[in-house]
Structure 1
Amino acid sequence: MSARTATTRLGIAVAAVATLAATATPALAADSASGANNNPPVYKGRVTAKSGLLLRDAPTRGSRVIRTEPYHAIVPIFCKTGGDDVGGNNLWYLLTDGTWAWGSAKYIDNIGPAPRWC
């Protein structure tokens, strides 16, 4: 395993632990969208890829596809990081809907503020 892959997987693990801690109780989960109680906010985006968006296990074009999201789907975003360039955009978003998958920011329009850095 390359150092970059190991670092990416470590980042995913840290993000998963942070999200579990932020959603430990219903009251904390309700506050996470507003950033109250020092919980990281959950950002939203809309898929713009006409044929659907491939979601991967790392922020690289060659990583394993976990699943897809359909065109116009609204997705929860935990954070962003740099990765492989896709059509002139090297940002990738970590989606937080249970599978912890990476999607290219090239094909996700932000709804509201841009996600924080991972």
Structure 2
Amino acid sequence: MFLRSPLAALALCVATGAAAVLATTSPAAADQSAHQEYKGRVTAKGGLILRDRPTRSSRIVGKAPYGSIVHIFCKTGGDRVNGNDRWYLLTDGTWAWGSAYYIDNIGAVPRWC
């Protein structure tokens, strides 16, 4: 099941992720984990299409140019794009989903939503 809006996805991520982090780590580690910054570089030659849900048929809400750096909040499963079912919730100006197939991670792999 997919969440109907990025804000609903964010609320679920925060509610479940924060509880899991706080239950298994010290307060200092939980604070660092909550502020982890994930980034990626767009590899889609024509630019990365941004959508309002992690599906190929959902509404297009923007586009990130080839080679640009995007900020990733978390990852989830969704429609397959060339065999890859991972989608990233991006936080650049708007909350939107981008296929992980077209984003190369820079540093740590994003956490699950």
State TM-score, norm by structure 2: 0.77
What RMSD, in angstroms, separates the aligned Cα atoms of the two structures?
A: 2.2
Partners of 2:84 and 2:52 in 1: how far apart?
Answer: 18
Distance 1:38 1:111, change over 3 A: closer
The letter for the 1-side match of 2:108 is P
After TM superposition, give the deviation of residue 13 of structure 1 in Å. Answer: 3.9
Partners of 1:48 and 1:111 in 2: how far apart?
Answer: 12
Describe how 1:27-106 pairs up with structure 2 within 5 A.
36-106=31-101
1:11 corresponding residue in structure 2: 9
Q: How many residues align?
A: 98
What do the CA deviations read for 1:47-81 (whole angstroms, capped 9, x no partner)? Answer: 00000000000000000000000000000000000
Distance 1:90 1:49, change over 3 A: same
Identity %: 59
Partners of 1:11 and 1:92 in 2: how far apart?
Answer: 12
- Unaligned runs of at least 5 residues, structure 1: 18-33
Partners of 2:36 and 2:70 in 1: how far apart?
Answer: 14
- Unaligned runs of at least 5 residues, structure 2: 16-28
